[in-house]
Amino acid sequence: MESINISTLQNWKNKKNKFAAITAYDFSFAKLFSNQGIPIILVGDSLGMTFQGHDSTIPVTVQNIEYHTKAVRKGAPNVFLISDLPFMSYCQINQALKNTSKIIQSGANMIKIEGGKNLIHIIRELSSHSILVCGHIGLTPQHIDYLSGYKIQGRNEKDANKIIEEALLLEDAGIKMLVLECIPAKLSKIITEKLSIPVIGIGAGNYTDGQILVMQDLLGITEGKKLKFTKNFLSQNGSIQNAIKTYIYEVKKGIFPNEKNSF
């Protein structure tokens, strides 16, 4: 696979070519996903739950993200690699710069941070240093206690307008990509159309430019209640390789997510 960069993704947005992304945390899965044609991998702080066994993403450290970013980059040298800045690791500008530099030096092309208006000054500073930033609004797992659990965001007009406003503010501040998590599909459609940058959804319907799933959800190996917006691609495809190929195909064709997987 040829190296994917931010210009590639922006070109796909402009041409309305949908694309698939997935989380990964180690060399072996990163290599497998890359070999099947996955263009974007996220080293998410979801590793706190899927890899470390915590009940939230809060305990994940910058050192954890560095470690997993290095492993994933070795397995997938040509993918566009995004890594999360963990909880409370980007509250101050100097702190954000220091932690971002560690993660970028570990192999990430872009860092992702969760939040809205409160991050404008951080995003502007990171962008001024030529650091690619991905925003993340809607359901933000790092704020799960403040949100009182994993709930759909933006269901009423006031909350929806706030999310739209924050998306526009984040783009103006300099983000080059945005993740929308667990919001109504119609709301994600409005935001995707208003923004000029690529928008990736998870639990946000199929109007976004791209989709992302946690690898354990895609492979059907997550314990507990199945999340509405996920799909087990492994059960009907016989191998992980075929599951990934099917996932990529269904995202590109707009088959996944369907109405059953949307809010």
Neighbours of 164 (CB within 10 A): 17
Please, what is the Cα angle at 91 between 89 and 93, to 5 degrees? 100
Using CB atoms within 10 A of its CB, is residue 30 exposed (0-12), middle (13-18) or buried (19+)?
buried
223 is known as an active-site residue:
no
Those residues with Cβ within 8 angstroms of residue 222's Cβ, 6 or more apart along the chain or in another chain:
50, 214, 216, 230
Cα–Cα distance for residue pair 263/151, rounded to 1 Å: 11
Q: What is the DSSP string of 28-58?
A: HHHHHHHHTT--EEEE-TTHHHHTS--SSST
Gap between the terminal Cα atoms of the chain: 34
Please report how many Cα atoms fall inside a 13 Å half-sphere around the Cα of residue 129, on the Cβ side: 17
Can you read off the two tokens belonging to residue 243?
């599951």
Q: Does residue 209 have a known ligand-binding role?
A: no
- Evaluate whether 172 touches 197 at the Cβ level (below 8 Å): no
Cβ density class 63-86: b for 16+ within 10 Å, e for less: ebbbbbbbbbbebbeebbbbbbbb
Cα–Cα distance for residue pair 105/43, rounded to 1 Å: 14
Q: Does residue 172 have a known ligand-binding role?
A: no
Q: Which position among 66, 166, 181, 250 bears the catalytic label?
A: 181
Q: Does residue 112 have a known ligand-binding role?
A: yes
Write out the catalytic residue numbers: 181
Binding site, annotated residues for 3-methyl-2-oxobutanoate = 45-46, 84, 112
Binding site, annotated residues for Mg(2+) = 45, 84, 114
Binding site, annotated residues = 45-46, 84, 112, 114
